[in-house]
Structure 1
């Protein structure tokens, strides 16, 4: 893919914004959410395949691409669908993985099915029983009531489509098997019957790699723009596809499209630099961005970081979180929002931008919503093309304004909110 379809070298911001293609980004999201990439969990074959695809794509855009390999430690992996059955004394029921039941991150690995009576944590003898943890009881307190128990059953809400959320960053394994039940099932399960289940979850040290692409090195004294997005997802479970379309195929699509537009000859004025970092291991604790930010600081580099995490479904305004010495970058982002007509609001963007900010770099995180968060419902058809286009236009305008620091642009919506 090339940038030959863009206007001539002296193009202005308006022409750059017109060059943003929502259809191209939608196609990128569909590719990244496809079956061959198996949800892109760090350390998996699907994650490696996505990385190879991104490498080729960036080279086709004319970038010099390098990989930064590392290890993401102790990533949780549900390696088999848990077999879960409940008998209430009269009727027998199997619980559906992903909807009615999931494996808690704090669970011990127990591949063998354990069957026993049901009891309530803190009431009666726990020995040889599955214990229902009352709502509001911390897991640490439940452990104190669970000596000799088979495992713990914790209630947890599900999303609007009825799916449990999958998380990779969280507590270390505890001493017992732990399952989460959706709140309706947790309320229905009561002492008087039996429960049988296993918890096949392990922790693995996962091979990972960031993908770095550079088009131009900043001239002395000129800004260096770094666009970032994590390409990993929470990954498929056995028998459950979790495409990771909005989180964060959409952010990757925006970063690629903004880089495509800004990489054109003459697009960024004044000798500004341009690079992209597509990051691995965000879902496992922002491991990739932590490493990359530290490497930049050791090298004495000080790029201006724009991180996109979720550009799937805009709800009134895009969330913006700034960190580090980001006053100038935030001002450019604000001007870009006014110029492109995208409303911005201060809000949490709990992603890789925080790792760059913690390293002392100017960083802003942008988030514009995601449907089906961390579940099988995060599909490509739910990513809104207009949202992709709006966020990409915002990023392009921000980069152009950073590079053309002395340039004034008119606002399409005025200067008042």
Structure 2
């Protein structure tokens, strides 16, 4: 619903301001009741390379009187991105620039990501990588208990430095990283399903972090009690460590 989308965007802006950011909103031309919420950490000169972290905050909402909560898809990604944004602002120990983009209208056609790609805070050509968090709070593809700490990273094998630093950050965070080529998703026709595709399609390095699909995907049962707090904490440690390592290069 329009009021809910506006309330979430306003809440994100308030949380970012409390953390010390000066967030802005970006209109989404195709959807007049949702916006992107953008916050910049680090130097603001246009020459600095940029790391972009994205997470979509929209979901299906209420359909025919039934609520679809979207706890994993994608409150989990928003929670991790917001947590890392808060931590960076509090510690101020990362020298690089990180742009956090909380996108709207992903479920309607990746429109929030498209809007940012058309009007980025900094030129896409200066973007080191886009890291997209989408569904990061469950056991990996609902596998066995030994996969509790597993995290998929689509698009990571395409860049040796990204892969090296990502694997180092994962090891330090206790995350078992499964790197999957974006070309593999293209072959099976699944490359367009999340915001990272918008940037990859424009030639920008992009990685999709996810614990994969589960039986509650796009169901009323995608509720907070089914999301693992321990997994969210692991993913946040990993993302924080990876961003720190990338910024130091």
- State TM-score, norm by structure 2: 0.83
Q: Is the 8 A contact 1:326 1:363 kept in 2?
A: no
Indicate yes or no: 2:166 matched with 1:333: yes
Other-structure match for 1:224: 50
The answer as to 2:219 corresponding to 1:375 is: yes
Cα distance between partner residues in 2 of 1:287 and 1:54: 18
Aligned to 2:136, the other structure's residue is in SS state coil
Alpha-carbon separation, structure 1, partners of 2:79 and 2:57:
10
Q: 1:312 and 2:156 equivalent?
A: no
Distance 1:398 1:244 in 2: 26
Match of 1:365 in 2: 208
Aligned to 1:352: 195
Cα contact 1:219–1:272 (8 A) shared by 2:
no
**Structure-2 change in CA distance of 1:281 and 1:61 (3 Å):** same
Instruction: Give the 3 Å change call, closer, same or farther, for CA 215–298 of structure 1 in structure 2.
Output: closer
State the SS of the aligned residue for 2:107: coil
> Equivalents in 1 of 2:201, 2:159: separation in Å?
12
Is the 8 Å Cα contact of residues 124 and 204 (structure 2) preserved in structure 1?
no
Structure 1 residue 221: deviation in Å? 6.1
Give the counterpart of 1:392 among 219, 233, 236. Answer: 236
| 3-state DSSP of counterpart to 2:132 | strand
Higher helix share goes to which structure?
A: 2
**Count of residues paired in the alignment:** 229
Q: 1:68 to 1:285 in 2, by over 3 A?
A: same
Gap regions ≥5 residues in structure 2: 141-146, 186-190
**1:323 offset after TM fit, Å?**
6.9
Aligned residue number for residue 106 of structure 2: 282
SS in 1 for 2:61: coil
TM-superposed deviation, 1:374 = 0.6
Whether the aligned pair in 2 keeps the contact of 1:219 and 1:273 (CA below 8 Å) is: no
SS of residue matched to 2:35: strand
2:59 to 233, 238, 242: 233
* Cα distance in 1 for residues equivalent to 2:47 and 2:226: 43
> Following TM superposition, by how much is the alpha carbon of 1:207 offset from its aligned partner in structure 2, in angstroms?
2.8
What's the secondary structure of 1:366's corresponding residue? Answer: strand
For residues 293-304 of structure 1, the aligned pairs below 5 Å read 293-296=117-120, 299=123, 301-303=125-127, 304=129
Over 3 Å counting, the alpha-carbon distance change for 1:237 and 1:328 in structure 2 is same
Q: CA distance change for structure 1 residues 370 and 61 in 2, over 3 Å: closer, same or farther?
A: farther
- Where does residue 16 of structure 2 map in the other structure? 58
Asked if structure 1 preserves the Cα contact closer than 8 Å seen for 2:5 and 2:33, the reply is no
* Number of the residue aligned with 2:29: 71
2:90 corresponds to which of 239, 260, 264: 264
- Matches of 1:45 and 1:245, distance apart in 2: 19
Shift of 1:52: 0.8
Larger radius of gyration: 1
Q: Do the aligned partners of residues 68 and 403 (structure 1) sit closer, same or farther apart at CA in structure 2, a change above 3 Å counting?
A: same
Give the alignment's Cα RMSD to 1 decimal.
2.4
| Cα shift readout 1:248-271 (whole Å, capped 9, x = no counterpart) | 000000000111112234420xx3
Listed as ranges, the gaps of 5+ residues in structure 1 are 1-40, 73-204, 406-417
- Flag the structure with more relative contact order, 1 or 2, with Cα contacts below 8 A and sequence separation at least 6: 2
Q: Evaluate the alpha carbon distance shift between residue 223 and residue 237 of structure 1 in structure 2; reply closer, same or farther with a 3 A threshold.
A: same
Deviation for aligned residue 1:353: 1.0
Give 1:248's aligned residue: 74
